[in-house]
Structure 1
Amino acid sequence: MDSSSMDSSSEEKGAAMAIPPLKPSEKFHLFVSYSSMDATWTHGLIGRLEADHAGLRVCLHERDFTPGRNILENMAECIHQSQKVLLVLSQDFVQSRWCLLEADLSLFGYCLERKPVIPVLLRPCQVPLHLSHLTYLEAMDSRFYSKVVRLLCTPSHCMARSLPGPRPVPSFYSGKTLLTLNCVNRDRLPSWKVGTFSTLSVPDPLKEVLPDPEVYKHAVGILNGVQSPRSCLRYLGCRILLSIFLLLLFLLLILLFVVFGLELIKPGLRFLLITTNVFCCLLSIVLAVNTLCWFRRFSRRKMQELGLRVGEANLLLAPHSVLMGCQTLNQLTFVFVQLEDCRQTFLQAPEGEALFREALLQFSCAYACCLVQADFPHCVDTATARGHLEPGLCFCQYVSVQLERG
């Protein structure tokens, strides 16, 4: 453990700070969640705390979990029996599923019991969305150790009133991109195959806004119903071979005219044969070009179909202030956007609720993509009008622009 980050003055050492006594339902003063890669630093901190404060009970999984018991039950019970929870944040912690699960459980306990959570930033990392609302301590702060001691000696009910809520307003804003989700096995997926997206669990960035996992699974399941093509033209080799065959057929028709000549043909059939030959030649060229361009036409049709399916999914996600968008066949984006004000605008028209649902179905996918790219269509009428999103067009403005363009 870095001595400079945990050094305290002699005055702070001399100050006797009392650890709050344990309640009958509590077994530990502190539950510590950390990555195994940060074990040395964490053990150094805990060792010093236990040496300076006799009677301090700290729960560490390697020494306090019940052997042979399910690890999930161990974590849930130990967090429930602890006064406070300390998280040692680092990139290793963020990437560890067990640590993230412990963080989820600690926040769950905090929400229900007002259990204080103390995040410690050991090394700079991308803090998960569901932990970003917490104010963390800097491990490299010269007064870090004294701050930890002061928090440990502060009664839990006093800390609970000073900690921020589980979902503060600054964490989300209308138009915020929450997640980019790739399909399963994207690296080995053929370009013509429509991606399949996992529905096993809700991704961490969406847990704060989609508390019900069934909503996420149902929404993504709608997209998984889009079928990939079964035509042999999905293979590039087949398209090339068919195009070559059609071009050779065109050359063969031309060659027949050159070899046999038009003078051998009766005048009555000459015009008919020329017309038929020209038609067959043009048809061969058109079929060859269309064969080579099959993938572009397929992608356009599938993107239209996928966009409608995304619209169906957004009917489920919109009440949770989430919209889904897709720009390719194997990637989704999720955006946090509040639509209630736009919905009220639709409700002012006859059958407004039905119009709002139809607008979500037809335009929500493209609108979500505009939010991700921060690139909105320009319209003179809406350039000076105030909408429900700043900056950019709100959903009702975007729908109005698209309807005007036809």
Structure 2
Amino acid sequence: MESQVAPMDSGAGEEGVALAISPLGPGEKFHLFVSYSSVDATWTHGLIGRLEADLAGLRICLHERDFTPGRNVLENMAECIQQSQKVLLVLSQDFVQSRWCLLEADLSLFGSCLERKPVIPVLLRPCQVPLHLSHLTYLEAADSRFYCKLMQLLLMPNHRLERSLPAWRPASSLYSGKSLLTLNCVNRDSLPSWKVGTFSTLGLPDPLKGVLEDPEVYKQAVGILNGVRSPRSCLRYLGCRVTLAIFLFLVGLALLAMPLILGFLGNSPAQRFFFISATIFFCPLFFIMGVNSLCWFRRFSKKKMRELVLRVGEANLLLAPHSLLMGCESMNKLHFVYVLLGDCRRVFLEAAGSEAEAEALFREALLQFSCGYACCVAHAYFPACEEVHGAHGHLELGLCFCQFVALQLKARQGCRVSAV
């Protein structure tokens, strides 16, 4: 089992719960349908084996053993969920990123609406829970009493199990500072290290549908990022960079040894001066060019990231009126966060002399700082948060946008002063 998960509690009956499962009703074949990622198969199979050993007669549906061979996967999932009393979701980042697992989660919610079946999410490892699952209360696998709590839920009849019954595609509660989606580029698996990722604009992702009513806004925003071009230089290939660097180093060494090879004997003072001057000038030049060839990728990455940050700022000018911001910290991944910016906008209005000037300042702040701020919100980590401890902000947890901008401007001014 996973090393980071605490050992399961041994006794399920320590609080007087009788080890008796509810009988299967008409049309039911399983007591529990389990949905999990293949990465978490070892932990899940260990849990299922223990449940089946402790609860005689417990029938658990697993896709690898209970799906009908040769049948459509979607039909298998839908039928097995309908034939199960309860649904168990093993949540992890691998589960969240798996389209099949997300589809099973959607079907399980659909089944819970039709048949009044409870959904039991188990948080195996910390992850960004999908928006349409965030309203459910989950069990933590790291809890020392996790196994006992799970047994209690499994043994409790459905009509007695306390739960909230969500509507299909429930509108989960939105709060300022909420992370909605991490979006990977479509060619991530085959993406070379020097190439900028391409993000899909075919449709609006489900977690953003509760925020953006117009899909065209999303397509335009992502289209701005897709306009960033990858380089066409041969230096994008490591072999070319290494070959060029070796050649330049050899030329530099040849120049360094040229006075010794040709010798100073019999040469006029003018020729000696020429050799020495050429060595002093060209030899370091070729060495520097060789080092730059090897470091081309790092310089290119920094340049492209600066360009992407500015493009994300342009995209956020379209998304900000919808309380949505986008951030990127690499060339193949985007973060979308829900942030209310009305109060922060008013701070800019108070600081400026006129409404037009305030709007211009706010737009410039979005262009320059919205990308970094969205990444901080997505990770729930604000490195400079200690500097404004106790200051009034517009975000309950962490820094609001106007505070973040003020700290960034203060940091830039400090760098300029130190440079002077």
Judge same fold: TM > 0.5, yes or no.
yes
1:326 is matched with 328
Aligned residue number for residue 95 of structure 1: 100
Q: Per the alignment, in what secondary structure is the counterpart of residue 154 of structure 2?
A: coil
Of 399, 407, 418, which aligns to 1:401? 407
> Where does 1:208-223 land on structure 2 (aligned, <5 Å)?
208-223=210-225
| 1:286 counterpart SS class | helix
Q: Is the 8 A contact 2:225 2:311 kept in 1?
A: yes
1:385 alignment partner, one of 380, 388, 391: 391
Alignment of 1:342 with 2:344, yes or no, is yes
- The CA distance in 1 between the partners of 2:131 and 2:385, in whole Å, is 35
| C-alpha contact (below 8 Å) 1:311/1:364 kept by paired residues | yes
Please give the alpha-carbon distance, in whole angstroms, between the structure 1 residues aligned to 2:387 and 2:102.
49
User: 1:260 matched to which residue of 2?
Assistant: 262
**Equivalent position to 1:368, from 374, 386, 389:** 374
How far apart, CA to CA, are the structure 1 residues paired with 2:155 and 2:340? 38
Would the aligned equivalents of 1:35 and 1:96 in 2 still touch at CA under 8 Å? no
How many angstroms apart in 2 are the aligned matches of 1:257 and 1:44? 87
1:122 to partner: Cα distance: 4.8
Task: State the 1:323 CA deviation.
Answer: 1.0
User: Residue in 2 aligned with 1:234?
Assistant: 236
Counterpart Cα distance in 2 of 1:388 and 1:117: 40
Is 1:35–1:99's contact at 8 Å kept on the other side of the alignment?
no
* Bigger-Rg structure (1/2): 1
Post-superposition offset of 1:200 = 1.4
| Paired residues for 1:19-168 under 5 Å | 36-37=76-77, 39-40=79-80, 42-43=82-83, 95=100, 120-122=117-119, 124=121, 128-130=130-132, 132-133=134-135, 140=154, 142-145=156-159, 166-167=170-171
Q: Is the contact made by 2:385 and 2:399 (CA closer than 8 Å) also made in structure 1? A: no
DSSP-derived class of the 1:181 partner: strand
Q: Distance in 1 between matches of 2:111 and 2:83?
A: 20
Shift of 1:99: 6.8
Correspondence 1:359 to 2:356: no
Where 1:187 maps in the other structure, the secondary structure is coil
C-alpha separation between the residues in 1 aligned to 2:366 and 2:222? 16
Cα distance change, pair 268–197 in 1 and its aligned pair in 2 (3 A): same
Question: Residues 372 and 117 from structure 1, CA distance in 2 versus in 1: closer, same or farther, beyond 3 angstroms?
Answer: same
Q: What does the per-residue CA deviation read over 1:296-349, in whole Å, with 9 as the maximum and x for residues that have no partner?
A: 110011000000000011111112221111111111111121111101111222
**Cα distance per residue 1:183-225 (max 9 Å; x no partner):** 1121211000000011112222222222322121111111000
Amino acid at match of 1:372: A
Secondary structure in structure 1 of the residue aligned to 2:203? coil
The DSSP-based 3-state class of the residue aligned with 1:264 is coil
The structure 1 segments of at least 4 consecutive aligned residues displaced by more than 6 Å after TM superposition are: 91-94, 96-107, 162-165
> The residue matched to 2:224 in structure 1 has which SS?
helix
Cα distance, 1:88 vs structure 2: 6.5
Deviation at 1:375, TM superposition (A): 3.1
Q: Which residue identity lines up with residue 37 of structure 1 in the other structure?
A: M
Mapped to 2, the partners of 1:263 and 1:277 lie a distance apart of: 17
Aligned to 2:202: 200
1:241 and 1:272, CA in 2 relative to 1: closer, same or farther beyond 3 A?
same
CA contact (8 A) 1:318 1:339 kept: yes
Q: Does structure 1 retain, via aligned residues, the 8 Å contact 2:181–2:336?
A: yes
State the one-letter code of the partner of 1:227: R
Match of 1:391, SS?
A: coil
AA partner of residue 311 (structure 1): G
Residue of structure 2 aligned with 1:308, choices 282, 307, 310: 310
Measured at CA, do residues 295 and 119 of structure 1 come closer, stay the same or move farther in structure 2, by a change above 3 Å?
A: farther
Q: CA deviation at 1:167?
A: 3.5
**Gapped regions of structure 2 (runs ≥ 5):** 1-18, 26-73, 124-128, 139-151, 413-420
Deviations 1:131-173 (A, max 9, x none): 544799x98363314789xx9xxxxxxx99x9899546xx333
Aligned to 1:173: 175
The 3 A distance-change label for structure 1 pair 96 and 367 is closer
Distance in 2, matches of 1:327 and 1:173, equals: 23
What CA distance in whole angstroms lies between the structure 2 residues aligned with 1:119 and 1:89?
Answer: 14
Assess if the C-alpha contact under 8 Å between 1:119 and 1:135 holds in 2: no
How far, CA to CA, are the matches of 1:133 and 1:379 in structure 2? 29
Instruction: Give the TM-score of the pair, scaled to structure 1.
Output: 0.67
CA distance in 2, matches of 1:278, 1:295: 28
CA distance 1:124–1:166, shift in 2 (3 Å):
closer
Cα pair 1:180 1:334 within 8 Å, conserved: yes
**Partner residue, 1:188:** 190
Mark the runs of 5 or more structure 1 residues left unpaired by the alignment. 9-33, 46-86, 108-115, 152-158
1:292 to 294, 300, 303: 294
Q: Measure the CA separation in 1 of the matches of 2:81 and 2:237.
A: 55
> What percent of counterpart residues are identical?
54
